[in-house]
Amino acid sequence: MRIGLVSDTHDLLRPEVLEYLRGSDHILHAGDLCGDAVLQALAQLAPLTAVRGNNDRGPWAQRLPEAVSVELGGVTVHMVHDVKELVLPASARVVISGHSHKPVVNERAGVLYVNPGSAGPRRFKLPISAGELRIDGGAVRATLVQF
């Protein structure tokens, strides 16, 4: 199973990011979408789960949870915009976050932490990036790409 990972689009959906996410079985957006149009465009590619970021405001954003857990391919994935606000569910095998715009993958105490970075406007000298989770028989692997 391929899960596309994206965060901090800040109302900018780059064509190369959309193309990268195409073919995903599910897409996770870790907040700071900054517009309902981003939700609609991503939902046309695959089933979509998104959380509200600190820059998501208005009626469309109020429909988004601040944190959510989803089971994908038999693995519990928990998502929150800012990892500093994480309340880790005992069942979580993967945590997806955003906010920092810094792409990172690391594993601690059996939990895989992934921040796909920012796919939106460039901030400072940080890369434009997104990622994917591959789930196969309970095994989970994360990959990040820069654009």
Distance CA 145, CA 6 (A): 11
pTM of the model: 0.96
Q: What is the pLDDT of residue 34?
A: 96
Residue ranges and CATH numbers for the domains of the chain are 2-146 (3.60.21.10)
Q: What is the pLDDT of residue 58?
A: 93
Q: What is the pLDDT of residues 38-94, one digit of tens each?
A: 999 999 999 999 999 999 999 999 999 999 999 999 999 999 999 999 999 999 999
Q: What is the pLDDT of residues 97-120, one digit of tens each?
A: 999 999 999 999 999 999 999 999
Residues 6+ apart with CB under 8 A from 29: 6, 7, 9, 38, 39, 42, 48, 49, 50, 51
Is the per-residue pLDDT at 123 higher than 90? no
Structure-block tokens of residue 128: 């434009």
Nearest by Cα to 68 from 94, 106, 34, 105? 94
Structure-block tokens of residue 88: 């880790």
